[in-house]
DNA sequence: GATATTATGTTGTATATACACTAAAGAGGT
DNA sequence: ACCTCTTTAGTGTATATACAACATAATATC
């Protein structure tokens, strides 16, 4: 083997798809995706947040968040408790959202542990480090 | 540090987004995305292929490929040389497609090398291995 | 207080992705 | 030739993602 001829980006994207599919399958019984899980989880951490704050927390574009949050609001897992007439939203989990997240956490943990085992401690550590390094490319070195 | 509390899947997705954005920026001058680059590249390798074969090569759903290939056909980088009335497509690069890919390859190489350098040989190798391991999860152990 | 600037959220457009379904072409068996 | 089963491509729907543009609210500046 001479060089790494295959595109690192494409390989990374492929692995992300595969892993997403795995987590989604594990979360199937709760009826949310891993992406939605992440959104709910971060919102719970924040307690309350407007779109901008939540988007920043999730490292997503505001417009992306606006679209991702729609099905969650429709399913009443998230609500906006802002006073009418104000532009600044007050997003938070609903009761149903809290319960759903609680349930999801168990399944998430199972999935996470399973992947950790499959990878092994050493490979996991180096993976996390490599991913962190990649995140520093092309800009945002702001937080942390 | 006790455990890996952050979701591996979400971290992987984030890194994939970041890296995609980087490759896309590098490919900007050619006017194609890294995803489209991958499509063109694989199609060139195959020479000629129908949708199913190309989708399998790319590890994508046929319907995904159908959508991804549309802008490339519209831009006349890819064409279908099948006889009219036949269902089986004969996809291949056009002249423009070949030229564009040739140009893109140079920029891709630059991006790839830059990332390889940033990661370092050791981290790169372990990353590739971890990604390969992840790809074996949840199914397709068919090829290789 | 009026105006200029910024923050905030949404919409339009485009790519990326998959599952379920449909339509139609091909292949085989009788 | 006719019928069946499979292959092949495309559509509908849904999520995920970002950039550009916009409208309006909030804030700062004068």
Question: Which chain A residue shows the shortest CA-CA distance from B14?
Answer: A135
Burial of B114 (0-12, 13-18, 19+ CB in 10 A): middle
DSSP state, residue B62: H
CB < 7 A from strand D, the residues are A 33-36, 59-61, 63-64, 67-68, 70-71, 86-88; B 13, 17, 21, 50-52, 62-63, 66-67, 87-89
Nearest CB to A19; choose among B59, B115, B134 = B134
Residues in a beta bridge with B49: B91
CB distance B12–A12 less than 8 Å?
A: yes
CB contact at 8 A, A27 and B23: no
What are the backbone dihedrals phi and psi of residue B91, each rounded to the nearest 5 degrees, phi first? -75, 145
Beta strands A91-93; A78-80: pairing state: antiparallel
**The residue count for chain B:** 144
Tally of CA atoms within 13 A in the half-sphere of B25 that contains its CB = 11
CB contact at 8 A, A48 and A90: yes
Q: Work out whether the CA dihedral A69, A72, A74, A80 comes out positive or negative.
A: negative
**Per the confidence metrics, is the pTM higher than 0.85?**
yes
Q: How confident is the model at residue A3 (pLDDT cuts 50, 70, 90)?
A: low
In whole numbers, what is the pLDDT of chain A averaged over residues? 90
pLDDT in tens, A54-89: 999 999 999 999 999 999 999 999 999 877 667 789
Nearest CB to A38; choose among B7, B137, B138 = B7
pLDDT in tens, chain B (144 residues): 445 689 999 999 999 999 999 999 999 999 999 999 999 999 999 999 999 999 999 999 999 999 999 999 999 999 988 776 666 889 999 999 999 999 999 999 999 999 999 999 999 999 999 999 999 986 543 432
pLDDT in tens, B7-34: 999 999 999 999 999 999 999 999 999 9
Closest C-alpha among A84, A29, A90 to residue A54: A90
- Selected for mutation to probe chain A from B3, B11, B15 (highest A CB count within 10 Å) is B15
Q: Find the DSSP H helices in chain A.
A: 8-27, 34-46, 51-58, 62-74, 95-119, 121-135
CB contact at 8 A, A118 and B137: yes
Q: How confident is the model at residue A120 (pLDDT cuts 50, 70, 90)?
A: very high
Distance measured from the CA of protein residue A65 to the C1' of nucleotide D16, in angstroms: 10
With beta carbons under 8 A apart, name residues in chain B contacting A111.
9
Most confident of A76-85, A100-109, A131-140: A100-109
Beta-carbon neighbour count of residue A31 at 10 Å? 12
Beta-carbon neighbour count of residue B25 at 10 Å? 13
pLDDT of residue A55: 96
pLDDT of residue B87: 67
Q: Which nucleotides of C are covered by protein (CB under 7 A)?
A: 7-12, 14-21, 24-26
Helix (H) or strand (E) holding A90, with range, is none
Q: Where are the beta strands (DSSP E) in B39-94?
A: 78-80, 91-93
> Which residue approaches C14 most closely, CA to C1'?
B71
Q: How confident is the model at residue A7 (pLDDT cuts 50, 70, 90)?
A: very high
Nearest CB to B130; choose among A23, A59, A127 = A127
Task: Give every CB contact of residue A29 below 8 A, 6+ residues apart in sequence.
Answer: A107
């Amino acid at each position: 083997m001479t060089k790494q001829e295959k595109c690192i980006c494409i390989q990374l994207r492929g692995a992300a798809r595969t892993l997403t599919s795995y987590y989604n399958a594990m979360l199937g019984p709760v009826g949310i995706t891993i992406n939605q899980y992440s959104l709910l989880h971060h919102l719970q951490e924040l307690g309350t947040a407007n779109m901008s704050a939540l988007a920043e927390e999730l490292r997503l574009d505001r417009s992306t968040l606006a679209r991702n949050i729609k099905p969650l609001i429709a399913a009443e897992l998230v609500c906006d408790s802002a006073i009418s007439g104000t532009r600044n939203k007050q997003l938070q989990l609903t009761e149903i959202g809290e319960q759903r997240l609680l349930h999801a956490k168990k399944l998430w943990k199972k999935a996470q542990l399973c992947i950790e085992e499959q990878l092994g401690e050493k490979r996991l550590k180096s993976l996390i480090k490599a991913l962190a390094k990649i995140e520093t490319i092309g800009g945002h070195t702001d937080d942390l």
